[in-house]
């Protein structure tokens, strides 16, 4: 499972011009589910993300987690994170889990992290428009394989 975390001052997602998720001060999480991913991958990432110290303390040091700053998370499904671009110029997405399984694990991740951090989410499979104001900028790519 791949997650791209962006520390944000604000972020929102719209579908058909309707806002379905919006946060202030927190993390925008783009989540890609790979073939073979399990609930364990989702839990490992969610736990790590909720504790990751990437928010500034009173001395300007990144010592605080999203939980410490009472921030929120906005989670967006994003199969394009799994693009294989080695051959040719058209990426393939064969590494991505099938839609039913990807949706199940996306929802599992969202439910799991929402028990740790107030969470908003996009709509799986929808054509979404994401807006954000990256704070820092701070952007981190995480892979659940690294956490095993």
Total Cβ atoms within 10 A of residue 100: 8
Q: Please check the confidence at residue 148 and state whether its pLDDT lies above 90.
A: no
Mean pLDDT of 100-109: 98
Contact 125, 77 (CB under 8 A): yes
Residue 29 has pLDDT above 90, yes or no: yes
Q: Collapsing DSSP states into helix, strand and coil, what is residue 42? A: helix
Is the entire prediction scored with pTM above 0.85? yes
Percent of the chain exceeding pLDDT 70 equals: 100
Strand 119-121 relative to strand 18-32: parallel, antiparallel, unpaired? Answer: unpaired
Chain segment 7-20, per-residue pLDDT in tens = 999 999 999 999 99
Q: What is the pLDDT of residues 45-84, one digit of tens each?
A: 999 999 999 999 999 999 999 999 999 999 999 999 999 9
Domains, the chain, ordered by start: 2-147 (3.50.80.10)
The residue written with tokens 């009472």 in the block is 70
Decide the pairing of beta strands 62-64 and 55-56. Answer: antiparallel
Average pLDDT score, the chain: 97
């Amino acid at each position: 499972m791949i997650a791209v975390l962006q520390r944000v001052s604000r972020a929102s997602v719209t579908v058909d011009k309707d806002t379905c998720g919006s946060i202030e001060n927190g993390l925008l999480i783009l989540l890609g589910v790979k073939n073979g991913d399990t609930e364990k991958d989702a839990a490992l990432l969610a736990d790590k993300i909720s504790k990751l110290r990437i928010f500034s303390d009173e001395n300007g040091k990144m010592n605080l987690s999203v939980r410490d700053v009472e921030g929120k998370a906005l989670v967006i499904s994003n199969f394009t994170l799994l693009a294989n671009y080695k051959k040719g110029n058209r990426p393939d997405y064969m590494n991505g889990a099938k839609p039913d399984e990807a949706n199940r694990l996306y929802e599992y991740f969202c439910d799991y992290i929402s028990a740790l951090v107030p969470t908003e989410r996009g709509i799986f499979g929808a054509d979404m428009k994401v807006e954000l104001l990256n704070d820092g900028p701070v952007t981190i790519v995480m892979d659940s394989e690294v956490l095993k």
